[in-house]
Structure 1
């Protein structure tokens, strides 16, 4: 760019350097300071935005004092001071873990009455510093000060405070804060919900955690894929026998939900057996969790029916049929044939014939596997005459 004639405006260089600053993993701050010096040698004068970028770079390098020296440069260039440059300096103190200096600078700005008013960005910097240092009471005080100064906290402010309370085990306070922010017209986002979800897990409030996952889905805030492995790891750890904590139906539900979000519906299905082993019945919630992970059609449901029939879980089969009808995915001939075979293998001929009548009423017929199973039973010597009469009705 410096080889172009005429030389580009400083505005273009500001845009370039702003983009480079965002590449934080490359630690570009020293490089940008050096590049600005080169621009001045080429006769390209900085403007107020250039000064702001420089101040930000110095603050990230821990040299807030050099950032302050740019206030004079800004005034010399004919630009007045504003909240942006002071926010940068306050943020610099916070970045360097110098909270007293940050608070002192804020007080000076207010008392000296430069005509500069702190805004939500100013207070968010302070809240973040208090958040990082674990000073929950002070952070709450800053929130109160914001409200008294008619500065509306944004979702970032509230999310930091919710996360702080949850990490301190104060989930009730976090819930109250979420209620407060919602009442003020600030809807929670994925960061807010994730913080509360962590808080529930830390407190072992699995039912609340499961309900929150469903609320997040309803509000379009699906759990972050980066957070899910941590939730799964925590859940598995807290339900480990070594900790003496037995999983309940809600903890199994949360695990199933997380696995489905990670695309591992197969692991989710494996938890059905765990849930039954723990003595908890299967319900619509667990089915919906797995179904949402699969985006099912009748083939998907048939796989579930076949799995339950294989395990002899015929009461669960009836629930699946009910869900299929409610979801507008009616059973087909394969569904009914699988169920009939399941009842026959379970020696429940009356229910087998009941579903046979339903199947025929819907215009379906027995397939070869079902028919041959009935014929084989008819030739069995272990079958009573009354049951053979029932089977005869099926064949006729």
Structure 2
């Protein structure tokens, strides 16, 4: 008769621990889903953490990261509309005296928290968490530095952001990528210092490791004068970059505002020839701009495209059309207005 092997005390303990860990993991799944659906309030979050900090099983980092990330992304319309600030507050609770009940945070945890600090415009907290991360010895990656760069640019400290990108990132063992450069480019463009942004673009173009991408060109095309924007648009093919819908939207907006209407027509025609399908936002934007210019026939063409593709009119387009209808100027596309 074969011998039956009974589980040892250690294996029973191990099994019990695994069961407890699975239960702890599951405890954060439903709250994370409720945050995403907009039915989880700040009071619910604090009650959840009261329970987590009382339990004997350590709080697992991965489900905790998922919960904090959901809070960070909570839109203003949700119950946790102040999700980023709440995530920072809850993490602070877990850090103060939680001891072994909370497993050590990971690089991902710190990245989430730094992004939360950026969203609530707390540069001081972003830099404090960044320093704390390095004291742990975990190290940083490009996502970590992205939060630092965005926070500095949001605070109009673009010179410091450029120093971080050009010098400190490499010293700390992290190589900037296209996203890093694009953040800095946007910061200088938003700060109306597009000449420096242009120099950064040229710096990227000369390098082998970090060539410009479509987002890079979208940023500088939006910020530059129309003749320069046209030149940049034309040189995208140098890097085998295909303009996106956003690129075309920016170019069309610039051309129409500058009164270069025939060139705008040509750009839209080239867009369709390349197989880049216009979306609702682009068609509404272009139709609206032509209506504002009094270009009724051109506007009608884009309104017809909206109708063909079963897109909806945006509120600002509807408002402009109603204004024109009331003045007896434009009646052709009244059927597009919502009932």
User: Normalized against structure 2, the TM-score is what?
Assistant: 0.66
Q: Among residues 172, 190, 195, which one is paired with 1:132 in the alignment?
A: 190
- Give, in angstroms, the shift of residue 202 of structure 1: 1.4
- Give, in angstroms, the shift of residue 66 of structure 1: 2.0
Q: How many residues align?
A: 251
- Give, in angstroms, the shift of residue 32 of structure 1: 0.8
Aligned residue number for residue 79 of structure 1? 138
Q: Among residues 180, 199, 203, which one is paired with 1:145 in the alignment?
A: 203
Pair 1:20 & 2:71 matched: yes
CA distance in 2, matches of 1:71, 1:230: 40
Tell which has more relative contact order, 1 or 2 (C-alpha 8 A, sep 6+). 2
- Give, in angstroms, the shift of residue 174 of structure 1: 1.8
Q: How does 1:2-21 map to 2 (within 5 A)?
A: 6=57, 9-21=60-72
**Structure whose alpha-carbon radius of gyration is higher:** 1
Q: Among residues 237, 259, 264, which one is paired with 1:204 in the alignment?
A: 259
Aligned residue number for residue 213 of structure 1? 268
Distance change in 2, residues 1:80/1:233 (3 Å) = closer
Q: Among residues 233, 243, 250, which one is paired with 2:288 in the alignment?
A: 233
Aligned residue number for residue 112 of structure 2? 53
- Give, in angstroms, the shift of residue 19 of structure 1: 3.1
- Give, in angstroms, the shift of residue 57 of structure 1: 1.5
Say if 1:87 and 1:122, in contact at 8 Å, map to a contact too.
yes
Say if 2:73 and 2:84, in contact at 8 Å, map to a contact too.
no
CA distance in 2, matches of 1:20, 1:178: 38
CA distance in 2, matches of 1:186, 1:19: 33
- Give, in angstroms, the shift of residue 7 of structure 1: 5.2
Aligned residue number for residue 228 of structure 2? 173
Q: Among residues 299, 324, 327, which one is paired with 1:255 in the alignment?
A: 299
Query: Displaced runs of 4+ in structure 1, greater than 4 A?
Result: 2-8
Distance change in 2, residues 1:231/1:103 (3 Å) = same
- Give, in angstroms, the shift of residue 50 of structure 1: 0.5
Aligned residue number for residue 42 of structure 2? none
Q: How does 1:115-126 map to 2 (within 5 A)?
A: 115-126=173-184
Aligned residue number for residue 94 of structure 1? 153
Q: Deviations over 1:43-78 (max 9, x none)?
A: 243111111111121222222222222234223433
Aligned residue number for residue 349 of structure 1? none
Say if 1:29 and 1:58, in contact at 8 Å, map to a contact too.
yes
Q: CA RMSD in A?
A: 2.7
Say if 1:39 and 1:45, in contact at 8 Å, map to a contact too.
no
Aligned residue number for residue 336 of structure 1? none
Q: How does 1:218-367 map to 2 (within 5 A)?
A: 218-239=273-294, 252=297, 254-263=298-307
Which residues of structure 1 form unaligned runs of 5+? 240-246, 266-289, 291-396
CA distance in 2, matches of 1:90, 1:8: 31
